[in-house]
Amino acid sequence: MNVLQILPRVPPAVCGIGDYSWNLARQLRDVHDIHCSFLAAGTGTVETAGETEFPVFRLSELSTSELVKFLEYRRKDFDAVILHMSTYGYQKRGVPLWLASAWRQLSQMKEAPPRITMFHELYASGPMSSSAFWLQPLQKRVLRDVACASNALRTNRQPYADWLQHLPGLKAPEVVVMPVYSNFGEPAELPRWEDREPAMVLFAWGIHSGESLQTVLRKAADCGHHFGIQRLHLIGGKELLLEAPPGIELVRHGFMQAEAVSGLFSSCRMAYTAYSPEHFGKSTLMAAFAAHGLVVVTQGKTPFLPDGLQDGVHVLNESSLGAISSGDTRHLAAISKAVHQWYQEHSLSKNARSYADQIRTLV
């Protein structure tokens, strides 16, 4: 069985969706005998030098006619098409009208392969002074048109699914919801939490709080001090002018390959994130922390956490750390185990099996 995945950019370009789809393709091939090709159709397409692991195509221009022509010519080559939907990846203002128009035309084409759309995110929001506020109606129109011209739908957050399911004119009988998996590996075995280095990891990106990285570093260090953390590993941002927080060793790694990140995570005890807890389902960073059994300290106290997560059971909120003894290793080890078990329900293998079932149902 052959499937085409459409996305903004493909590896080696740095792109979370690119890594997500590439890892998915490996699992579909190795476990389910489903073979993927890729069509890079985004605004930031980077040319790939030499051969790639999977066949990669590119549109000569980002237009309705080019995409329709591409799929019309190759419609018998693919048993299904997966569109990875992230509006800003296909148009710099997040309004890829050309893509929505092409998707509508494809839905009317005879013998067109069935279309699965994975919504990695929906529309933007912001104050009246922002372009996102004024463009939101157009973004919603694009999303609606794409959803209604799809045979099957997926997303990574239940609130996204709720919005999609209320759209009039949907063909898809349901919206499959499954949080993303780790783009930084899934260790088959983890060392005991107590045997790991008393160190914390932090990514230099994914800061939803609006704070500077220097401020986030300080907050992470304050949380680390509570648990006797002696070292803070920072991934990315190596070129930035940053000061090490008092009383902690700051190890700056810059960009790291996925295998190196996985090795580092397996050796550390904790992680800190300023990513919005409400959006953990779409966060490959949170997925990576969970896959490696790190005790995650979060910002942003919310009434409830999504996707079955519980504060104090799977993650720790920084505002609640005072209630936890710094020497309560049994409690912390239990949190490490719980978040790792939570991850297993949407691991790469579980996601790939879900995609494979969806593809086979349509074909």
What does the pLDDT read at residue 50? Answer: 58
Q: Provide the token pair at 6.
A: 């459409």
Cα angle value 71/29/104 (rounded, 5°): 25
User: 38 and 74 in contact (C-beta within 8 Å)?
Assistant: no
Q: Provide the token pair at 19.
A: 């890594």
Mean pLDDT of 272-290: 93
Dihedral angle sign, alpha carbons of residues 151, 157, 162, 163: negative
Distance CA 162, CA 102 (A): 25
Q: Which residues have C-beta within 8 Å of that of residue 236, sequence separation ≥ 6?
A: 203, 204, 205, 253, 254, 255
Does 49 have pLDDT greater than 60?
A: no
Give buried/exposed letters for 118-157 (b at 16+ CB in 10 A, else e).
bbbbbbbeeeeeeebeebbebbeebbbbbbbbbbbbbbbb
Mean pLDDT of 300-305: 68
Higher pLDDT, 296 or 303: 296
Give buried/exposed letters for 227-236 (b at 16+ CB in 10 A, else e).
bebeebbbbb
Mean pLDDT of 97-107: 96
Does 3 have pLDDT greater than 90?
A: yes
Does this model's pTM top 0.85? Answer: yes
What does the pLDDT read at residue 127? Answer: 63
- The pLDDT confidence band at residue 44, using thresholds 50, 70 and 90, is low
Q: Tell me what the pLDDT averaged over the chain comes to.
A: 91
Does 46 have pLDDT greater than 60?
A: no
Q: Provide the token pair at 39.
A: 């069509």
Structure-derived torsion over alpha carbons of residues 236, 240, 243, 247, reported in degrees to the nearest 10: 0
Q: Among 129, 213, 180, 194, which residue's Cα sits nearest to residue 289?
A: 180
Does 212 have pLDDT greater than 80?
A: yes
What does the pLDDT read at residue 237? Answer: 83
Q: What percentage of the chain carries pLDDT values higher than 90?
A: 73
- 109-166: per-residue pLDDT in tens? 988 899 999 999 999 876 656 676 778 899 999 999 999 999 999 999 999 999 999 9
Find the range with the poorest average confidence among 195-209, 218-232, 303-317, 345-359. Answer: 303-317
Distance CA 350, CA 74 (A): 30
What does the pLDDT read at residue 128? Answer: 57
Q: Among 217, 184, 224, 208, which residue's Cα sits nearest to residue 279?
A: 208
User: 8 and 17 in contact (C-beta within 8 Å)?
Assistant: yes
Mean pLDDT of 172-183: 95
Distance CA 275, CA 298 (A): 8
Mean pLDDT of 44-55: 68
- 306-357: per-residue pLDDT in tens? 888 998 899 999 888 877 877 788 999 999 999 999 999 999 999 999 999 9
Beta-bridge mates of residue 250 = 232
Domains and CATH numbers, the chain: 2-178+348-362 (3.40.50.2000), 193-344 (3.40.50.2000)
Find the range with the poorest average confidence among 38-47, 122-131, 197-206. Answer: 122-131
